[in-house]
C-alpha cells in the first residue's frame, strides 16, 4: 500500500518537509464517501420519503467533491514533481495509474449493456475507451459506458498540460500565484452568466464537464502547492481549516444558492488541502493519516470507478431500479452497497491497480531503485457531478 508521497527533502522556505503527504490520502476517502452518499440518494436506493430527505440533507453537496479532487490533483502533482524528470516519464506514470482500472470497468460496463440489451453508441463507447468523451458536448456522449469516467478524460488533459506549464509555474512571481488562487472562485462564479452564451443543450456540459473549464480547479491546486513549496502560503492550521470546511459545507448546503456554493466550496477545499499538507510537513497531529484512513484513501480511486456500476447493476437485477427499497431496507441497502463496493475496490486496487503500476510505470533512474509504482496518486476518484438541487439530475448511463 502506498500513500500520497513526495520526493522533495525540503521546501524552498527551509522547513523540513516530509517525503509523504498521507493526510491528503485520508482526505480523498472523505470526499469519495460524500460522493457515494450523493449518488446513493440520486439513484433512489431509499424509497421511504423521510429517510430519503435525510440523505438529501446530508449529501446534497456531495457532487462538489469533484472540485476537491481536481484541486488535490494539481496540488499533489506539483509538490511531487521530480527535478529532471522527463515529460514522457511523467505521462507514462499517469497512464499506468489511471488506464488499467478504467479499461477493466469499461469492459464490465459494456458486458452489462449487452446483458441488459441496452443500445450501444459505438462512437460514444470508443470516445469513452480512449478518454476523449469530455470533449464531446452531445448528450449521451460525455456520460457514457461507465459514465463516472468523464473526469478521467479531464484528468488526462490536465496531465498532458502540466509538464509543459511547470517551468512557467516555477518561475512565476508569488503575486501571480496568489492571483490564480483568488481568481478561480471568481471565475467559477462567472460561469453562471457565461453559460448563457452557449446553446442551451450544451450548457451543462460547458459548465460541468468541459476540460478547459474544469482545469480552473486543477490550476488552483497547482498555484497553492507552489506557494507552499516556497514558504509563501498563508492559511490556517488543520484544526481551524477543518472547522472552516465543515461550517462552509453546512452553510452552503442549507442557505447558499446553487450558483454560489461551488465558488465558495472551492476556497474551502484549497484551504483544507493546504492545511493537511502543512500538518504532514510539520509533523503535527492529523487523524487523516491513521492506518484505516490511509487504506480507505488508497482504494478510493477504485471505489469511485466501481460504485455507480455496482449500485446500478444490482438494482436492475433485483428489479428495484427507479423504485428503491421500502422502509428501513433502504438505509440497510445503502450500507450494504457501501461495504460491497469497498470490498470490490480493495480487490481492484490490489490485483489490478498496483500490479499494473509496477508493470507499466517507468522505473526510477537510480540503479536498483524501486519502480515508480509508488508515485503519488494525483488521479483522485473522478467524481461525477450532477446538476444542482433545483435541476433534474443526470441519468446513470450504461
Cα distance between residue 21 and residue 12, in whole Å: 17
Mean pLDDT rounded to a whole number for the chain: 84
Question: Where does 60-149 have alpha helices with state H?
Answer: 65-79, 87-115, 122-129
Phi, psi of 40 (to 5 degrees): -60, -35
Percent of the chain at pLDDT exceeding 70 = 86
Helix axes 211-229, 258-282, angle to 10 degrees: 30
Cα distance between residue 142 and residue 155, in whole Å: 14
- Where does the pLDDT of residue 362 fall: very low under 50, low under 70, confident under 90, or very high at 90 and above? confident
Cα distance between residue 81 and residue 84, in whole Å: 9
User: What are 58-114's pLDDT values in tens digits?
Assistant: 787 887 888 888 999 999 999 988 888 889 999 999 999 999 999 999 999 999 999
Residue in 93, 38, 92 with CA at minimum distance from that of residue 253: 38
C-alpha grid cell for residue 344? 470490490
Compute the Cα dihedral for 94, 97, 100, 106 and give only its sign.
Answer: negative
Give domain limits for the chain.
22-365
Reading phi first (left if > 0) and then psi (alpha if -120 to 50, else beta), residue 322 is in left
Res 375 pLDDT > 60: no
pTM of the model: 0.86
User: What are 269-310's pLDDT values in tens digits?
Assistant: 999 999 999 999 999 999 999 999 999 999 999 999 999 999
Which DSSP category does 349 fall into? I
C-alpha grid cell for residue 298? 488508497
Quote the distance between the C-alpha of residue 147 and its chain's center: 14
Cα distance between residue 261 and residue 250, in whole Å: 11
Which DSSP category does 6 fall into? -
Amino acid at each position: 500500500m502506498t500513500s500520497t508521497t513526495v520526493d522533495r527533502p525540503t521546501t524552498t522556505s527551509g522547513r523540513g518537509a516530509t517525503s509523504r503527504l498521507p493526510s491528503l490520502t485520508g482526505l480523498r476517502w472523505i470526499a469519495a464517501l460524500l460522493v457515494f452518499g450523493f449518488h446513493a440518494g440520486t439513484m433512489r436506493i431509499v424509497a421511504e420519503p423521510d429517510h430519503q430527505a435525510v440523505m438529501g440533507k446530508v449529501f446534497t453537496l456531495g457532487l462538489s467533491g469533484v472540485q476537491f479532487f481536481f484541486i488535490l490533483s494539481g496540488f499533489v502533482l506539483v509538490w511531487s514533481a521530480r527535478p529532471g524528470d522527463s515529460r514522457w516519464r511523467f505521462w507514462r506514470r499517469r497512464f499506468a495509474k489511471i488506464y488499467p482500472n478504467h479499461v477493466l470497468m469499461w469492459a464490465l460496463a459494456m458486458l452489462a449493456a449487452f446483458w441488459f440489451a441496452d443500445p450501444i453508441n459505438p462512437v460514444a463507447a470508443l470516445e469513452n475507451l480512449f478518454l476523449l468523451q469530455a470533449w464531446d458536448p452531445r448528450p449521451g456522449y460525455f456520460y457514457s459506458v461507465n459514465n463516472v469516467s468523464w473526469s478521467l478524460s479531464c484528468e488526462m488533459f490536465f496531465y498532458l498540460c502540466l509538464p509543459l506549464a511547470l517551468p512557467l509555474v516555477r518561475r512565476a512571481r508569488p503575486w501571480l500565484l496568489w492571483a490564480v488562487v483568488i481568481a478561480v472562485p471568481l471565475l467559477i462564479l462567472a460561469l453562471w452568466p457565461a453559460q448563457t452564451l452557449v446553446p442551451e443543450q450544451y450548457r451543462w456540459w460547458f459548465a460541468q464537464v468541459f476540460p478547459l473549464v474544469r482545469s480552473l480547479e486543477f490550476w488552483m491546486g497547482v498555484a497553492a502547492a507552489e506557494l507552499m513549496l516556497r514558504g509563501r502560503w498563508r492559511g490556517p492550521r488543520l484544526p481551524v481549516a477543518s472547522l472552516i470546511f465543515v461550517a462552509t459545507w453546512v452553510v452552503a448546503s442549507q442557505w447558499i444558492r446553487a450558483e454560489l456554493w461551488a465558488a465558495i466550496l472551492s476556497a474551502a477545499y484549497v484551504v483544507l488541502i493546504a492545511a493537511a499538507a502543512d500538518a504532514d510537513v510539520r509533523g503535527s497531529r492529523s487523524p487523516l493519516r491513521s492506518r484505516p484512513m490511509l487504506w480507505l484513501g488508497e482504494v478510493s480511486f477504485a471505489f469511485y470507478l466501481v460504485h455507480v456500476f455496482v449500485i446500478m447493476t444490482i438494482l436492475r437485477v433485483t428489479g428495484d431500479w427507479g423504485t428503491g427499497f421500502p422502509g428501513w431496507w433502504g438505509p440497510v441497502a445503502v450500507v450494504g452497497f457501501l461495504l460491497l463496493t469497498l470490498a470490490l475496490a480493495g480487490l481492484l486496487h490490489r490485483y489490478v491497480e498496483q500490479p499494473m503500476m509496477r508493470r507499466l510505470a517507468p522505473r526510477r533512474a537510480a540503479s536498483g531503485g524501486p519502480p515508480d509504482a509508488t508515485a503519488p496518486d494525483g488521479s483522485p476518484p473522478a467524481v461525477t457531478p450532477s446538476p444542482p438541487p433545483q435541476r433534474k439530475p443526470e441519468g446513470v448511463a450504461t
